[in-house]
Chains A and B, each alone.
With several copies, the nearest count.
Chain A
């Protein structure tokens, strides 16, 4: 019997240690695993490296994790958003390091980490300041940059539904980074609205096969970041 369910968000993140590298799914609020992030804030882990496309908004979820000063470094493509003040403030005060990565390169580096590809070449960012210090090479007359894989100790991901084997399906554009982060993390933790039995998800429509998923947590009514922000919520 394979059963990857864990009791709740606190149990799911209980071993995320100080200094861990944590991939956090989501593009803006779509796919942001707020309940897992809040459990990670409760857990108190410090000195984290966070890999995520954005840096959250308001003072909940990812922005709250930053505000609590648990994050030493952010690897992301777009650390500004509407209602995003926490990261800019920390960054200007030198409280957090930033590695800025073009969004497609970020996605491909994560996918490469999951696929066992230590490095690859990409045309993005050639000739720009983000190419500084990077190896470049010409193939068929065109210049490309060498990029390394990204891997993580943990990934926090939001799906729509999963079975107990860890097969996951997603909800609309909340899919975004979830499938590739699940591949690239040593421990992939997925919160879903409903956990179902094996066989309840058609094998043809599984997006993330269970082999990439270590823990499944049911969060029946996940909160939306924009609603919390509009309500002026803060965490904790």
Chain B
């Protein structure tokens, strides 16, 4: 879906902007591949986030100008990036010590499904001929202090992605803290999905109908 297409709710950029609003200055953040990467573009003026990429860089900056491009300075999505002043390089065991040891404040990930328990499925459809590939997702959700998900509310065929129980293989159990969709911001609490905020112009009932488990008002 192009960002320009008419749609109900926030655009992808607006979703990313909404996530960025919630991240305190000084946070150490890991942004997953894809939509989560957009978050970095919308950090409000005056806030500094420090980006971690699990392939060994803290203090990651934006894409390089062509003349500064280096095929060996890349992010976890294997795109070329830069290192900001105050950056540090380290090896993979140290990088995942940061993740597993609870040193990162936040990671923002995409999702196939999120259950009301906070279970996350985002690595495999479980189809028999799929090439399984997990990367660092299971380590991130197991170790990072807060896990935010940014995702369309439903699949392309209209199925809810916020569900009672995930049917896809899990990435982690009870790991998601908050979900940002084009329709709403929703927390995972001990009671399940709890609405934090509706996209302006979107009705609660509209979101509830498209959510595969009870959606509570706060």
User: What residues of chain A have their CB less than 8 Å away from a CB belonging to chain B?
Assistant: 1-2, 27-31, 53, 77-82, 87-88, 91-92, 98, 100-108, 110-111, 113-117, 122-130, 163-165, 167, 170-180, 183, 197-199, 203-204, 206-207, 209-212, 224-227
Contacts and interface: CB of A to CB of B under 8 A. Distances in A.
A121 B161 CA distance: 32
Contacts of B72: 29-31, 171-174, 224
A176 B55 contact: yes
A77 B91 contact: no
6 contacts: A2-B86, A104-B143, A116-B143, A124-B100, A126-B173, A130-B134
Given A172-B89, A180-B91, A211-B98, 17 more contacts: A1-B48, A27-B56, A27-B92, A78-B133, A81-B78, A104-B99, A110-B93, A124-B139, A126-B173, A165-B50, A167-B88, A172-B72, A173-B55, A176-B56, A198-B84, A206-B89, A209-B94
B95 interface: yes
Contacts of B131: 79-80, 87-88, 91-92
A227 B71 contact: yes
Interface string B32-73: 000000000000000010101111111100000000001111
A76 to B, nearest CB: 8
A209 B90 contact: yes
Contacts, number: 219
A115 B101 contact: yes
B137 to A, nearest CB: 8
B142 A107 contact: no
Contacts of A225: 71
Chain B: interface size category: 35 or more
Contact of B139 (A29, A104, A224): A104
A126 B142 contact: yes
Nearest to B58: A209
B129 A92 contact: yes
B104 interface: yes
Given A103-B139, A124-B142, A125-B142, A210 B50 contact: yes
A127 B170 contact: yes
Q: Which of B91, B124, B131 is most buried by chain A, counting CB atoms within 10 A of its CB?
A: B91
Given A30-B55, A107-B95, A102 B134 contact: yes
Nearest to B173: A127
B145 to A, nearest CB: 11
B136 A103 contact: yes
Given A30-B74, A163-B86, A173-B73, A128 B138 contact: yes
Contact of B52 (A88, A124, A130, A211): A211
A114 B143 CA distance: 11
Given A2-B86, A173-B73, A100 B93 contact: no
B40 to A, nearest CB: 16
Contacts of A198: 84-86
A27 B28 CA distance: 22
B102 interface: yes
Contacts of B52: 211
Contacts of A102: 134-139
Contact of B136 (A104, A178, A197, A203): A104
Nearest to A88: B131
A123 B100 contact: yes
Nearest to B171: A128
A197 B84 CA distance: 12
Contacts of B214: none
A186 B103 CA distance: 9
A199 B85 contact: yes
